[in-house]
Structure 1
Amino acid sequence: MKTDVLVELKALRLHGMAGAWADLVEQGGGEAGGVGIESSRWLIEHLLQAEGTDRAMRSVSHQMHAAKFPVHRDMAGFDFEVSPVDRNLVETLATTAFTDEAHNVVLVGGPGTGKTHLATAIGVSGITRHGKRVRFYSTVDLVNALEQEKAQGKAGRIATSLLRMDLVILDELGYLPFSQAGG
Structure 2
Amino acid sequence: MSMLEQTASRYRSLKLTTTASQLADLIAQAEANEISYLSFADQLVSNELNHRLHTRVQRNFRQAGFPARKFLEDFDYRHQTTITKRQINSLLDFNFIDDRNNLIFIGPPGVGKTHLAIGIGIKAIEAGYKILFRNALDLVEDLEMFEMKGELKKRISQISKYDLIIIDELGYLPMLQQARYNLFQLINALYEFRSIVLTTNKDFTSWGDFFHNDNVAIPIVDRIIHHSHIFMMGGESYRIKEKMKI
Q: TM-score, normalised by structure 2?
A: 0.56
Contact persistence 1:96–1:122 (CA under 8 A): no
Q: Distance in 2 between matches of 1:125 and 1:140?
A: 25
Q: Which residue of 1 aligns with 2:112?
A: 114
Residue 100 of structure 1 aligns with an amino acid whose one-letter code is D
Q: Distance in 1 between matches of 2:37 and 2:102?
A: 51
**Which stretch of the first structure deviates more once superposed, 142-151 or 153-162?**
153-162
Q: Distance in 2 between matches of 1:157 and 1:44?
A: 44
Does 2:49 align with 1:55?
A: no
User: What is the CA distance between 1:39 and its match in structure 2?
Assistant: 5.5
Residue 44 of structure 2 aligns with an amino acid whose one-letter code is L
Aligned length: 148
Q: Which residue of 1 aligns with 2:156?
A: 159
Contact persistence 1:146–1:155 (CA under 8 A): yes
Q: Distance in 1 between matches of 2:149 and 2:58?
A: 31
Q: TM-score, normalised by structure 1?
A: 0.74
- Equivalent position SS for 2:122: helix
User: What is the CA distance between 1:50 and its match in structure 2?
Assistant: 1.2
Q: Which among 77, 83, 86 is matched to residue 84 of structure 2?
A: 86
User: What is the CA distance between 1:41 and its match in structure 2?
Assistant: 4.0
Does 2:124 align with 1:135?
A: no
Contact persistence 1:80–1:87 (CA under 8 A): yes
User: What is the CA distance between 1:86 and its match in structure 2?
Assistant: 1.9
User: What is the CA distance between 1:95 and its match in structure 2?
Assistant: 2.7
Q: Distance in 2 between matches of 1:102 and 1:39?
A: 45
CA RMSD of aligned residues (A): 2.0
% same residue: 30
Of structures 1 and 2, the one with the larger relative CO (CA 8 A, separation 6+) is 2
- Equivalent position SS for 1:169: strand
Does 2:92 align with 1:99?
A: no
Q: Distance in 2 between matches of 1:57 and 1:147?
A: 35
Does 2:171 align with 1:174?
A: yes
Give the unaligned 5+ runs of structure 2.
Answer: 1-10, 15-34, 181-246
Note the alpha carbon deviations across 1:112-158, whole angstroms, 9 max, x for none.
00000000111111110x21111111111111011100111222122
Q: Which residue of 2 aligns with 1:9?
A: none
- Equivalent position SS for 1:110: coil
Note the alpha carbon deviations across 1:50-104, whole angstroms, 9 max, x for none.
1111001001101111111111111111111222322111112233211112111
Residue 74 of structure 2 aligns with an amino acid whose one-letter code is G
Q: Which among 71, 95, 99 is matched to residue 68 of structure 2?
A: 71
User: What is the CA distance between 1:43 and its match in structure 2?
Assistant: 3.5
Residue 95 of structure 2 aligns with an amino acid whose one-letter code is A
Q: Distance in 2 between matches of 1:74 and 1:157?
A: 32
Contact persistence 1:135–1:168 (CA under 8 A): yes
- Equivalent position SS for 1:73: coil
Note the alpha carbon deviations across 1:157-182, whole angstroms, 9 max, x for none.
22101222211110000012232210
Residue 107 of structure 2 aligns with an amino acid whose one-letter code is G
Q: Distance in 2 between matches of 1:42 and 1:89?
A: 41
